[in-house]
Amino acid sequence: MPCTIIVGAFWGDEGKGKIISYLALNDELDFCVRTGSVNAAHTVWLNGKKYALHMVPAAFIYEKCRLLIAAGANVHIGRLLEEVELTNVNGRMGIDQNASIIEEKHSLQDKTSAVNKGIGTTGWGVGPAIEERARRTAKLAKDIPELKPFLTDSVAEVNDGLDAGKKVLLEGTQGFMLSLFHGTYPYVTSRDTGASAIASEAGVGPTRVDDVLIVYKSFMTRVGAGPLPGEITKEEAKKRGWFETAAGTGRDRRSAPFNFELARKNAEINGATQAALTKLDCMFPECRSARKFVNLPADAKHFVKEVEERTGVPVVLIGTGPEALDIIDRR
Ligand code: IMP
Ligand code: MG
């Protein structure tokens, strides 16, 4: 803080929603800017209730946080309005006037495209919507009467906020291995998902960013097609307690053990200054709900230290359960 980028280390679903919700409450964030589009779901647990957010920033659980959708983001109007109501954030939600709009036709184009089927897209139509933006024929938020109450210049808001010393979090979506430029092309999403791109979408210059917090999960998962180094079978994943289904589409997630080499490389390319390690309790069940590092079993401590040594990045936050406050904060 004051300006931190949250970036996913692998193929998304690292638990960014949980980390952001913790930071929102604990650090009392002033602004949270969501990037990307509706294909990404960020899961937030609050008082035993689960929210799978596709549009509203994950920091919504801190009631004083201003919630923004970035200029470079892509907005699904129906889903946004639904989530604004569900999370009751009407008065503090802002959408940048230049954010682009995803329409029903894009979803149809996505679902009927043989290429996209082969990639295993989420089917929301984000690829076709971004194509349209690149063609300069997309609708922007400022063209939509329904969005009028939310329209803002989020870039000015955030930069003025930084001038005033406010705490700003830039919420990346998906993971670095899904980056259009740096991921496992063509099995990637339709944008760069890296830290620099997150700043760019939000309209924040690189020199204004204080920290890049890379979010690792204790094992790796991937939905859709494409390479996953060290992939294990679904049966093995169930045995290890790693089997998950996607928060957004409900599809099975494939899984693999933590890859230190990939973790190191992605920390480097994203300029990570801090790391979070989520779901440590899935690897070491005795860690469940632990709030202090000293209370972890020796093998779990060893794993955390190995992540730090081999990536060169301090692990400042450790996830030990689904609720926002199930966390070890070592800052
Ligand atoms: P698209 O982003 O819907 O075009 O899908 C392209 C690829 O990215 C597919 O393999 C999707 O499963 C994957 N993908 C997109 N968004 C997410 C996400 O939020 N979490 C995990 N995988 C995602
Ligand atoms: Mg997700």
Q: What is the pLDDT of residues 229-288, one digit of tens each?
A: 999 999 999 999 999 998 778 899 999 999 999 999 999 999 999 999 999 999 999 999
Identify the pLDDT of residue 246.
87
Q: How confident is the model at residue 16 (pLDDT cuts 50, 70, 90)?
A: very high
Q: What is the pLDDT of residues 53-75, one digit of tens each?
A: 999 999 999 999 999 999 999 99
- Say whether pLDDT at 1 is over 80: no
Distance of CA 19 to the CA centre of its chain: 9
Does residue 223 line the site of ligand 1, with CB under 6 A? Answer: yes
> How many A from CA of 222 to the centre of ligand 1?
9
Does residue 199 line the site of ligand 1, with CB under 6 A? Answer: no
Identify the pLDDT of residue 160.
98
Q: Whose CA is nearest to atom 18 of ligand 1?
A: 40
Residue 225 CA: nearest ligand 1 atom is 10
89-127 core/surface letters (b: 16 or more CB in 10 A; e: else): beeebbbbbbbbbbbeebbebbeeeeebeebebbebbbb
Does residue 128 line the site of ligand 1, with CB under 6 A? Answer: no
Mean pLDDT, rounded, of the chain: 97
Identify the pLDDT of residue 250.
87
Active site residue ranges: 13, 42
Q: Which ligand is nearest to the CA of 225?
A: 1
Q: What is the pLDDT of residues 78-134, one digit of tens each?
A: 999 999 999 999 999 999 999 999 999 999 999 999 999 999 999 999 999 999 999
Does 285 sit behind a cis peptide bond, omega within 30 degrees of 0 on the bond before it?
no
Does residue 12 line the site of ligand 1, with CB under 6 A? Answer: yes
> How many A from CA of 21 to the centre of ligand 2?
14
